[in-house]
């Protein structure tokens, strides 16, 4: 846990609130051997989308090749000798009888790793190690630990290995990685329920907080002396991609604004549920975002009297948690502005429409089949 002592010698106003480290990638969504959609991907893109949406200041370190094709808020480092990381997600493979493993991921190309020298020298309050294609090196995570007050890690950055023949993503046990010894120095490790079986949660929770997300069931938070289930929000799932990333974005945005862990996890669940309702990188309705920010502000006001250092994680469920859940649920039910989704065509591709604002998801996700809404990717039930 980050203590008030650890934070005392720093000047928060001079620090970036959130530093996101992980490569952007190109996502290709496949179904029945057909490309159904292409989208900007990478945990960094989903997380910055949420953190920006919540008006929390952040910085992002990401590497791409010259072939990178999406407009983004944070300019990546372009490596002329490398290609952008590309993932193909197969939605009709690998679903077992229990509905586990909703998709098979293949890393088709991988951009360069992010090295300690790529990170900013200035300190940050919250560092997020959120690689997708093996780009976070042990020394990179160590540098983040040295330069950030609190580090949040997505386990997918640590335990993924890639088949040398076709790039299929496989997972290895956390304890067999070089990252294992760094766990006592991070604050939070996030894993999906599929990934959580690759670690000994009972062991890891002694060193850092562990958050296990579980699709439509919500998530569970484990810390040294306790655990807590955090309820989900209803969602009409179309594409599960990025739900865990958006969860982490909402969770950290909540913590940055001073929410207790259980309330911040609700914010994570909310953004996870909003993400599965859209294909690719989601576009959040501006009125919904304003309403969520107002609810977070109201929630903060209820705890102004509490004595807690800015960086100390509060695990106990605060009074009014259920009411906060209901308020966020009500915010989610606001009918969206009537932006019509347009199938992607060459004339509205991102490159050609840079001057003309168009709906975000049209810019970021190319829907390649006119029938994507009639035959949605949501047919992939599968989140455990």
Ligand X SMILES: O[C@H]1[C@H](O)[C@@H](O)[C@H](O)[C@@H](O)[C@H]1O
Ligand Y SMILES: Nc1ncnc2c1ncn2[C@@H]1O[C@H](COP(=O)(O)OP(=O)(O)OP(=O)(O)O)[C@@H](O)[C@H]1O
Which residues does the annotation mark as catalytic?
245
Work out what residue 192 binds among ligand Y, ligand X, none; the CB cut-off runs from 5 to 8 Å by kind: ligand Y
Q: Tell which one of 42, 240, 272, 282 touches ligand X (CB under 6 A).
A: 42
15 binds ligand Y (CB under 6 A): no
Query: Taking contact as CB under 6 A, which single stretch among the options 180-188, 236-244, 318-326, 361-369 is the one that binds ligand X?
Result: 236-244
269 binds ligand X (CB under 6 A): no
214 binds ligand Y (CB under 6 A): yes
192 binds ligand Y (CB under 6 A): yes
27 binds ligand X (CB under 6 A): yes
Whose Cβ is closer to ligand X: residue 53's or residue 242's? Answer: 242
Q: Closest approach of Cβ 337 to ligand Y, in Å?
A: 22
Whose Cβ is closer to ligand Y: residue 228's or residue 358's? Answer: 228
Contact status, residue 154 vs residue 45, Cβ threshold 8 Å: no
Nearest position to ligand X, beta carbon: 41
Work out what residue 105 binds among ligand X, ligand Y, none; the CB cut-off runs from 5 to 8 Å by kind: ligand X
156 binds ligand X (CB under 6 A): yes
Whose Cβ is closer to ligand X: residue 192's or residue 327's? Answer: 192
3-state SS string for the chain: CCCHHHHHCCCHHHCEEEEEECCCEEEEEEECCEEEEEEEECHHHHHHHHHHHCCCCEEEECEECCCCCCCCCCCCEECCCCCCEEEEEECCCCCCCCCCCCCEEEEEECCCCECHHHCCCCCEEEEEECCCCCCECHHHHHHHHHHEEEEEEECHHHHEEECCCCCEEEECCHHHCCCHHHHHHCCEEEEEHHHHCCCCHHHHCCCCEEEEECHHHCEEEEECCEEEEECCCCCCCCCCCCHHHHHHHHHHHHHHCCCCHHHHHHHHHHHHHHHHCCCCCCCCCHHHHHHHHHHHHHHHHHCCCCCCCCCCCCCCCCCCHHHHHHHHHHHHCCCCCCCCCCCCCHHHCHHHHCCCCCCHHHHHEEECCHHHCCCCHHHCCCCC
Q: Tell which one of 19, 25, 144, 372 touches ligand X (CB under 6 A).
A: 25
Near ligand X in 96-115, by CB under 6 A: 105
Q: Closest approach of Cβ 184 to ligand X, in Å?
A: 25
Whose Cβ is closer to ligand X: residue 27's or residue 102's? Answer: 27
45 binds ligand Y (CB under 6 A): no
Q: Closest approach of Cβ 216 to ligand Y, in Å?
A: 4
380 binds ligand X (CB under 6 A): no
Q: Tell which one of 16, 85, 140, 213 touches ligand Y (CB under 6 A).
A: 213
Near ligand Y in 261-320, by CB under 6 A: 269, 272-273, 276
Whose Cβ is closer to ligand X: residue 105's or residue 292's? Answer: 105
């Amino acid at each position: 846990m980050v203590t008030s002592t650890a934070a005392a010698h720093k000047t928060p106003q001079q620090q970036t609130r959130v530093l996101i480290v992980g490569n952007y990638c190109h996502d290709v969504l496949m179904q029945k051997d057909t490309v159904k959609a292409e989208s900007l991907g990478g945990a960094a893109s989903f997380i910055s989308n949420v953190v920006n949406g919540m008006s929390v200041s952040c910085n992002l370190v990401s590497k791409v090749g010259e072939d990178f094709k999406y407009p983004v808020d944070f300019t990546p480092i372009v490596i002329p000798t490398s290609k952008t990381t590309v993932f193909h997600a197969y939605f009709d493979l690998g679903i077992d009888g229990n509905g586990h493993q909703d998709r098979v991921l293949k890393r088709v190309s991988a951009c360069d790793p992010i090295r300690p020298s790529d990170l900013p020298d200035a300190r940050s309050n919250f560092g997020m190690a959120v690689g997708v294609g093996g780009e976070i090196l042990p020394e990179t995570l160590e540098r983040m630990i040295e330069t950030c007050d609190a580090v949040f890690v997505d386990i997918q950055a640590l335990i993924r290995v890639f088949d040398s023949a076709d790039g299929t993503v496989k997972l290895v046990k956390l304890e067999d990685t070089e990252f294992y010894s760094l766990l006592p120095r991070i604050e939070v490790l996030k894993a999906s329920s599929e990934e959580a079986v690759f670690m000994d949660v009972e062991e890891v929770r002694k060193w850092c907080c562990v958050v296990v997300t579980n699709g439509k069931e919500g998530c569970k938070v484990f810390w040294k002396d306790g655990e807590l289930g955090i309820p989900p929000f209803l969602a009409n799932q179309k594409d599960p991609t990025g739900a865990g990333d958006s969860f982490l974005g909402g969770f950290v945005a909540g913590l940055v604004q001073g929410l207790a862990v259980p309330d911040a996890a609700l914010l994570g669940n909310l953004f996870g549920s909003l993400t599965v309702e859209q294909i690719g990188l989601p576009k959040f309705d501006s009125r919904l975002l304003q309403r969520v920010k107002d609810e977070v502000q109201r929630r903060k006001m209820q705890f102004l009297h509490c004595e807690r250092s800015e960086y100390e994680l509060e695990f106990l469920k605060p009074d009014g948690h259920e009411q906060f859940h209901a308020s966020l649920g009500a915010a989610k039910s606001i009918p969206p502005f009537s932006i019509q989704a347009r199938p992607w065509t060459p004339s509205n591709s991102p490159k050609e429409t840079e001057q003309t604002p168009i709906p975000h998801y049209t810019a970021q996700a190319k829907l390649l089949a006119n029938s994507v809404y009639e035959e949605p990717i949501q047919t992939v039930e599968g989140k455990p």
